[in-house]
């Protein structure tokens, strides 16, 4: 009797854990029809930015976009994907932020896969409109066949990232380290699901840069790199 009893107990435990896990997930509602559109642009470079949590990558991307006078997509990407899928933008934005140990399972659920498909479709549409900066969401892999693509990975040492997280979000040092590790783990899992590749591996990017030199300095270094690429192509 030991084997069937053990199986029965295991089924109850796993079932209970599954129910608790899905109760913690963000709710799925119909999109609120927020008015957001893909911005007009010009032919040119398409910059994708992957970044470690706390490296200030999204702010660096915004600075680069402003200096080049091209559209910038971060939260806008979430809103556009929500509009494309009909799902709530908060649900789409939290696809990669669940903190549960079953994060990998969450990424394989049907609503999440549907949202990811819509997100990838929007990324491709954005690229068709011309030069832009796209932060996160494995955009570097989604657009891997685009001839104008420049794939950037932004990182920094732990001390710098912890200070940045304390500065940006008011985290304690302990919470900063905890959130940094969880966020990067989730990003790695998401990237693996989308691309089958390792997030942060230098082989997947054109430029890897340490942002501890400063936001403005990092943005200028990226611009210099892009300028040199254009000169080489000429």
> Any idea where the domains of the chain sit in the sequence?
44-233
Tell me the pLDDT band of 189, cut-offs 50, 70 and 90. confident
What per-residue confidence (pLDDT) applies to 36?
A: 74
Strand partners, 228: none
pTM: 0.75
Q: What strand order describes the sheet that includes 46-51?
A: 72-73, 132-135, 46-51, 149-155, 207-210
What per-residue confidence (pLDDT) applies to 200?
A: 92
Tell me the pLDDT band of 99, cut-offs 50, 70 and 90. very low
Arithmetic mean of pLDDT over the chain: 79
**Residue of 52 and 88 predicted with greater confidence:** 52
- pLDDT at residue 174 tops 80: yes
| Phi, psi angles (nearest 5°) of residue 114 | -65, -45
User: What percent of the chain has a predicted confidence (pLDDT) above 70?
Assistant: 71
pLDDT tens digits, residue range 68-85?
999 999 888 777 777 766
Distance CA 84, CA 220 (A): 34
**Residue of 217 and 31 predicted with greater confidence:** 217
Protein fold of 44-233: Rossmann fold (3.40.50)
**Residue of 80 and 189 predicted with greater confidence:** 189
């Amino acid at each position: 009797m030991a084997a069937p009893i053990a199986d029965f107990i295991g089924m109850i435990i796993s079932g209970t854990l599954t129910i608790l896990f899905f109760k913690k997930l963000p709710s799925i509602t119909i999109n609120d029809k927020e008015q957001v559109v893909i911005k007009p642009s010009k032919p040119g470079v398409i910059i994708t930015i992957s970044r470690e949590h706390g490296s200030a990558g999204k702010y660096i991307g915004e600075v680069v976009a402003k200096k080049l006078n091209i559209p910038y997509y971060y939260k806008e990407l979430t809103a556009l994907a929500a509009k494309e899928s009909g799902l709530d933008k908060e649900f789409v934005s939290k696809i990669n932020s669940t903190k549960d140990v079953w994060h990998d399972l969450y990424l394989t659920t049907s609503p999440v896969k549907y949202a990811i498909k819509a997100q990838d479709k929007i990324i491709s549409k954005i690229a068709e409109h011309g030069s832009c900066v796209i932060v996160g969401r494995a955009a570097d892999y989604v657009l891997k066949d685009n001839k104008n693509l420049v794939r950037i990975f932004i990182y920094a040492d732990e001390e710098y990232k912890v200070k940045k997280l304390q500065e940006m979000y008011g985290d304690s040092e302990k919470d900063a380290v905890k959130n940094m590790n969880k966020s990067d783990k989730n990003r790695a899992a998401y990237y693996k699901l989308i691309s089958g590749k390792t997030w942060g591996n230098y082989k997947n990017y054109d430029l890897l840069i340490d942002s501890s030199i400063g936001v403005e300095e990092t943005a200028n270094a990226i611009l210099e790199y892009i300028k040199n690429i254009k000169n080489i192509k000429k």
